[in-house]
Amino acid sequence: MKIFRIVLALVLFGFPFVMTAPVEAHHSVAAEFDVNKLIPMTGVLTRVELVKPHPWMYVDVKGADGTVKNWQMEFTLRWRPNMAVGQTYKMIVALAKNGKPRAFIVELTFPNGQKFSRAS
């Protein structure tokens, strides 16, 4: 009878913890980026990181003063065409609220003219 109680306790209290899937933190785009103010940007791709939950592309963007700054751009994994380092891409982005060179890509235009938007 004692063994039955131990097994029952393990099943009732241990099983839910064993079967729980890992949870990934996720945030709204609007929590980090100013989605009410979209701006166009053009830059040269330097690196792509296809990681969950948000993939990143790094783009060298020339500022109005001529200086080049590497921007970290978040995008959606649904856009999986070949991205090539060294090619120029046009983007419509929402800038990071903290002022860092980070943005969320709302629309991405590839060098061949193919466009992807957040809705596509």
Does 108 reside within a domain?
yes
Report pLDDT digits (tens) over 59-89: 999 999 999 999 999 987 666 667 899 999 9
Average pLDDT, the chain: 81
Does 7 reside within a domain?
no
Does 17 reside within a domain?
no
Number of domains in the chain: 1
Does 59 reside within a domain?
yes
Q: Which residues of the chain have pLDDT under 70?
A: 1-27, 77-81, 119-120
Does 13 reside within a domain?
no
pTM over 0.95: no
Please report how many Cα atoms fall inside a 13 Å half-sphere around the Cα of residue 80, on the Cβ side: 4
The CATH number of whichever domain residue 70 belongs to comes to 2.40.50.140
Range of the domain at 106: 26-117
Does 19 reside within a domain?
no
Distance CA 107, CA 109 (A): 7
The candidate with the shortest Cα–Cα distance to 73, out of 111, 52, 45, is: 45
